[in-house]
Structure 1
Amino acid sequence: MQRPLAGLSRKNVGRELLAGVTLVAIAVPLNIGYAQIAGLPPTAGLYALVVPTVVYALTVSSRQVVASPDAAAAALVASSIGGLAAAGSADYATLALAQAIISGVIFLLLAAFRLGFLANFLSKPILVGFVAGLAFDILVSQIAKMLGVRLPSGAEFVEKVVALFEGLGSIHVWSALIAIGTILLLVIGRRLVAAVPWALIALVLTTTIVVTTGLDQQGVAVLGEVPAGPPAFTWPMLELATWIALVPSAIALTMVTTAEGLLVSRSYGEKRRYRTNPNRDLFAFGLANIASGAQGGFAVGSSTSRTAAMEQAGSRTQLPSLVLAAGTLLLLLFGTALLADIPSPAIGAIVGIAIVPLLGIREFARLWRLERSEFAIAAVCFLVTLLVGSIAGILVAFILALINLARRAANPAIDVLAANDDPTQSLLEDGPMGTVTAPGVVVIRVAAPLFFANGDVFSQAVKRAVEAVPEGGVRHLVIDMEAVTDADFTAAESFASLREWLRERDISVSFSRLRANLSPRLKWLGIFDAETAYSTNRAAIAALSASAAPAEGDVVKDGTAST
């Protein structure tokens, strides 16, 4: 088992500590903004940076992934809990805690049963569309905050857009100027010196301006008083029905975090050549979310932007995360008074800049250019998430994933092979038919497991290949089984019907290059009852086309080893 803080040494400890200070400067303002997106007090975002961060850093296998609430998680929290309680209320905060705990338990179950592969059902187009829908909804709220326009509490996306346009005539000029100045500082500053914590500098400058000029008295919204003190143990007291009502949204949070978190962890591990353990990472996410829910925070996931920032800063260990936890705790103990006058337009600008990459504009353009069907999947997920809600979005995402999987599985590559084993024609594509591998012999290869989704497709493809040859032109059918890794009962039933159809036409059936571990299963299913198969296609073709008896052990013919 990998030790905590793997990769840390005397040579890099200074660099890692400096990266930790940078991480504090990046994470604190962002988490305050994400807490506001989620409809929670600023302390919820800060509490999530203390105990959960320490727990995650000491248990995860990745040396670099930073765990924290992010924009997508915050939007999911707001959209899923908003219909159960009013944002900002005590009940709302309690629901957010419970949701994080449920998500943590689901993570632990995924790790225990090694089910992390389920996140693979969320393909890249699905994730792009889903996250973009959440991000666009957030962006509308942040634009309103930047312009000083009030949006109705708990409003859906369309209502937010309508309220924003209706409020354009009452834009607060000072709020808009603060937001514009913050955006310019972030964009220009990052292009000049990317390593500088420009978000923190922007907050310090705008807060100083608000305090010295009294702009808060002229209508510029500020963060307000932030309670001081460390996070304390708490546990949400809810009825069983309420806990159950939170399960779907907790599943959505878990699956999105799993898909993104494991992908980021694996990519950095491969890049820096250290091993990662997906199930251990899921275990770490589980403990972190339970700790967050029990310490006044909210759902924790992987932060792609902060992980990238640490990579850029030269960090290769989890020490910066521990520095982040310590720095946030010191801020909660001694520095919350410094947060009270932070202008909300500046927070909105910082969050807005942070989520623009989540809109996936480049990804949508690339999908449109390379694969229109994948673009359509991403667009559907985007629209459903945006217009109906996050839970509906994740459900549609899974349904589309299953449909896409079934479509691909039901249409495997099925080819007629030439004598040199090269495919001469795909039986699933339009084109000239009537191809034989050798005189009187057709060798067909299917490149997929045979199961309920494609058993009939395979049978129909074989029939088309046989019927396309002039009557009597096919005496032997050889099925190349090299790429077949499994079969099920439905496929066996379909194959039994196919074999009967071939017998009626006096066509024998043989198998080529059967996998040794698959032979007992095919025998059990009744597809054949022999122990051996062809070793090569060429031997089968030569033997059958010459109408000679194949060598012993070389062919399985009509389910019986020929001699």
Structure 2
Amino acid sequence: MYDYIRSALTLFAQPVRLFQTYPLHALRADFFAGVTVGLVLLPQSLAFAILGGLPPVVGLYSAMVATMIGALWGSSTLLNSGPTTTGAILTLSVLLPIAPVGSSEFVTAASLVAIMAGIIRLIMGIARLGMLVTFISDAVAVGFTAGSGLLILFNQIGPITRISIPPGANIPTIVVETLAKFEQVHWPSLIIGGLTIIIIYTIPKFTRTLPASLLSIVIMTFIVWVFDLEQQGVRLMGEVPAGFPPLAQLPFDLHLIGQLANGALALAIIGLVEAIAIARAIAGYTGQRIDSNQEFVGQGLANIASGIFSGMPCSGSFNRSALAYQAGGKTALTGVISGITVLIGTSLLNEILAIIPRAVLAGTLMVAALGMVDHKAMARVWRSSRGESAIMVTTLALTLTLPLQFAILIGVVTSLGYYLIRTAMPRVEAVVPDSEFRHWDTAHGKPMCPQLLVVDLQGDLYFGAVNHVEEQLLGLLERQQSVRYLLLRMHSVNQCDVSGIRALETIRRTLRVRGGDLYFVRVRASVMHRMQSSGFYEQLGAERFLDEDKAIDFLFHRVLDPAVCIYECDRRVFRECQELPKQLLPAPVALPLRDGKPPAQITARTLWEQLHTAQPPQVIDVREPREFQRGHIPGARNIPLAQLLHQREHLPPGPLVLVCRSGRRSLRAAALLAGRTPPPLVLEGGMLAWEAANLLEAVEEF
């Protein structure tokens, strides 16, 4: 417990670490980058507050406080926290059922829900739950972001045309209202907003060093001021209070807190996903390592501070973070300076901010909204899998039809459900070597070995997945009745619990009944530890765990029945099969059953001794001539198994000993010679056992 508390307290010491390790040579770069971002944040914070149905000054308060706190306590050096488009529209959706837009209750609820969302994020960070963000699918984020972008886009039709549309109306309502009141369009405002959009898209074609949104706001504000278009009905921002943000007057209302609970949770989740995703994207350029738990704490404290100082819910902004990187920012001090810039700029430029046309801000929001509909990301998700495509489309549809907090929560639950289904139903695929014998391919429609089944397990063997894995493996064995050996490739199995061990035991029992066994390659250390601690490893024996590069060679030469390979199988699945002679028999000859009476066997040492007696047995080697030439028992006669079918009536009388490489073909030969007197013996272990006993071999020229 002491270690945990100490670890949690270190999360709050981030500012100390920042200033202790701050490189002074980065101060100049951080200062200019911070000022640049702050100048962009000034008008953005006004626009995002309006988007959330709040007074513009609320956005400024959030920009001042949340930006500095998020930078000081966050993990990312360049993540810029503060008001965002997603947070603003989600805030509006959460608060609409609570209080009328623009009322003091509405503003108070915005600050309260910011604190609640911040507390949730802070608790998640202290509890080290940063890894939970990885369980939220990109499909949810892409679908929600695209849906939010469309909502923002349509919700700006009212401000840019000055048509009266109910706040938070859905897209069909906005379209119907706009068409019904089209004659009420205020054309000067629409033209100003349209020119703003054109300027934003035009500036990057000439230069990318200047922020297009800020420059368009400056140009259009100057035009409105010069031509005094306020007299033509163009609405301006209005008075912007200067100075440090005041403390919010927050009532302790349990009923209100209960009403805001779901919305606060949605704000916390989507804000964290947004912030972590942006932090990781920027880290891809800077090479920084992101600590999700530290970022949770930073985002939590930023929202708590924003709510306390009369602000709104906040998160990370991608365009401001990217601007901080492009402007040369080096450390988190960039975010602190951007917040200070907003504070000073509000005091010095409040009269200029007051004359910014609202149609101009609506135009900038429309551009930002269109940027949220990421066609490339949507196409990538669409191509990835049907499940993720369905999640993306569902989240998008819910975002456009339901209150956003419910759309997010349903999307997250759907994503987690999809994850659980995927982990509970891992892929179990039979594989075969490719044409060059370098990699493994799915075996669908390809020739497979009748004796050996190679299977890839693409997931963990835990209690939720074992039934599926067991059914899939038994199904493969059911379809391949001749298979007696199973090689499991375990490189994708990271965890295996007791239920997984029991499933493997069931599969092994099935194979043992067939006269075969179970083998493994690429077993991870965690899974191997579970196998050893459960006794399963000892039960199988170390020889069942093979080196992947040598596994097929070992199984082919030491385990598989060569009689099947030569006389019954017309396929050449493995590299080892390529030069194997194929002499298919007219009909298969069954091996003696394990529960039947097997033929008598003789050991290599005993046979050697009998060969040196007065009446030695006749040794019949049933291997192919090429194998026989490489080495055989002195005095042995070579009659390949295929020829034994026709020559069994002409064999010499007296005791016979049947020999092959490992004993498999000898068992087949013994089955062919059943009923002979005396019954033939089989060399136990074949020539492999003879060689292992270091007994003499003969090599003959033919």
- Shorter-chain TM-score bucket reads 0.7 to 0.9
Counterparts of 1:84-99 in structure 2 under 5 Å?
84-99=98-113
Q: Give CA deviations for 1:437-457 in whole Å, capped at 9, x if unaligned.
A: xxx444434232112443233
In structure 2, the residue matched to 1:128 is 142
* Distance in 1, Cα, partners of 2:520 & 2:334: 59
Corresponding residue SS for 2:410: helix
Query: Deviation of residue 346 (structure 1)?
Result: 0.8
Moved more, 202-211 or 76-85: 202-211
| Cα pair 2:144 2:396 within 8 Å, conserved | yes
One-letter amino acid matched to 1:230 = F
Contact 2:117 2:268 survives alignment (8 Å):
yes
**Conservation of the 8 A alpha-carbon contact between 1:34 and 1:69:** yes
**Counterpart AA for 2:558:** A
1:151 to 158, 165, 168: 165
Are the counterparts in 2 of residues 224 and 341 from structure 1 also a CA contact under 8 Å? yes
Q: Structure 2, unaligned stretches of length 5 or more?
A: 1-13, 561-661, 665-683, 689-702
Once the two structures are superposed, what CA deviation does each residue of 1:414-449 show, in whole Å capped at 9, x if it has no partner?
33466999776647xx5357534xxx4444342321
Shift of 1:6: 8.6
**1:485 aligned partner:** 494
Bigger shift: 80-89 or 213-222?
213-222
User: Which residue pairs with 1:176 in the alignment?
Assistant: 190
- Would the alpha carbon gap of residues 469 and 520 (structure 1) be closer, same or farther in structure 2, given more than 3 Å must change? same
Deviation at 1:181, TM superposition (A): 2.1
| Corresponding position of 1:306 | 320
Partner in structure 2 of residue 350 of structure 1: 364
SS in 1 for 2:496: coil
Residues 327-366 of structure 1 correspond to what in structure 2 (within 5 A)? 327-366=341-380
Deviation sequence 1:487-528 (CA, Å, 0-9, x none): 235445544554554455454445555444434534666756
Which of residues 318, 329, 339 in structure 2 aligns to 1:315? 329
Matches of 2:207 and 2:191, distance apart in 1: 23
Alignment of 1:138-537 (within 5 A): 138-234=152-248, 236-368=250-382, 374-409=388-423, 410-416=425-431, 426=442, 430-431=444-445, 435-436=449-450, 440-470=451-481, 473-492=482-501, 494-495=503-504, 497-512=506-521, 514-522=523-531, 530=539, 532=542, 533-536=544-547, 537=551
SS of the equivalent of 1:4 reads helix
Q: How much does 1:386 deviate?
A: 0.9
Contact conserved, 2:426 with 2:465, CA < 8 A, in 1? yes
- Counterpart check, 1:35 vs 2:42: no
Q: CA deviation at 1:112?
A: 1.6
User: Shift of residue 231 of structure 1?
Assistant: 0.8
Structure 1 counterpart of 2:429, which letter? I
The corresponding residue for 1:555 is none
Q: 1:384 to 1:526 in 2, by over 3 A?
A: farther
Contact 1:116 1:258 in 2 (8 A): no
Distance 1:154 1:534, change over 3 A: closer
The yes-or-no answer on 1:63 pairing with 2:95 is no
- Please report how far the alpha carbon of residue 360 of structure 1 lies from its aligned counterpart in structure 2 after TM superposition: 1.6
Residues 74-83 or 178-187, more deviating? 178-187
What is the CA–CA distance in structure 1 between the aligned matches of 2:185 and 2:21, rounded to whole Å? 51
Q: Do the aligned residues in 1 keep the contact of 2:70 with 2:298 (CA within 8 Å)?
A: yes
1: CA distance, partners of 2:439 / 2:473: 14
**Alpha-carbon deviation of 1:301?**
0.7
Tell me the distance in 2 between the aligned counterparts of 1:7 and 1:109.
27
User: 1:227-247 CA distances to partner (integer Å, 9 max, x unpaired)?
Assistant: 333212235224223223323
Within 2, Cα distance between the matches of 1:474 and 1:366? 40
1:86–1:489 Cα change, 3 Å: farther
Contact preservation (8 Å) 1:126, 1:397: yes
Question: Retained in 2: the 8 A contact 1:5–1:58?
Answer: no
1:47 aligns with 2:70: no
Aligned residues: 543
Partner of 1:554: none
CA pair 490-356 structure 1, distance change in 2 beyond 3 A: same
Counterpart Cα distance in 2 of 1:468 and 1:413 = 14
The one-letter code matched in structure 2 to 1:466 is: L
Deviations, residues 282-319 of structure 1 (Å, cap 9, x unaligned):
21111111111111111111110111112222222233
Identity of aligned residues (%): 27
Deviations 1:22-77 (A, max 9, x none): 21221111110100111111111001112222222222222211111110110110
Classify the secondary structure of the residue corresponding to 1:518. Answer: helix
Query: Partner letter of residue 333 of structure 2?
Result: L
Question: Distance between the aligned counterparts of 1:124 and 1:453, measured in 2?
Answer: 24
SS in 1 for 2:81: strand
CA contact (8 A) 2:130 2:293 kept: yes
CA 1:442–1:181: 2 relative to 1, 3 Å: closer
CA distance in 1, matches of 2:229, 2:524: 76
Relative to structure 1, is the Cα distance of residues 499 and 292 closer, same or farther in structure 2, using a 3 angstrom cutoff? same
Map of 2:618 onto structure 1: none
- The answer to whether the aligner puts 1:543 opposite 2:558 as a matched pair is yes
- Equivalents in 1 of 2:368, 2:20: separation in Å? 30
Q: Secondary structure at the match of 2:559?
A: helix
Of the structure 1 ranges 206-215 and 77-86, higher mean CA displacement relative to structure 2 is found in: 206-215
Find 1:3's aligned residue among 17, 31, 37: 17
Residue identity in the other structure for 2:71: A
Separation of aligned partners in 1, 2:532 and 2:405: 45
Taking only aligned residues, the RMSD between alpha carbons, in angstroms, comes to 3.1
1:153 alignment partner, SS class: coil
Q: Which residue of 1 aligns with 2:597?
A: none
After TM superposition, the score normalised by the length of structure 2 is: 0.70
Supply the distance in 1 between the matched residues of 2:505 and 2:471 (Cα, whole angstroms).
13
Rg larger in 1 or in 2? 2
Distance 2:490 2:382 in 1: 36
Give 2:495's aligned amino acid. D
Q: How many Å apart are 1:142 and its aligned residue? A: 1.2
CA distance in 1, matches of 2:522, 2:37: 56
Contact 2:165 2:174 in 1 (8 A): yes
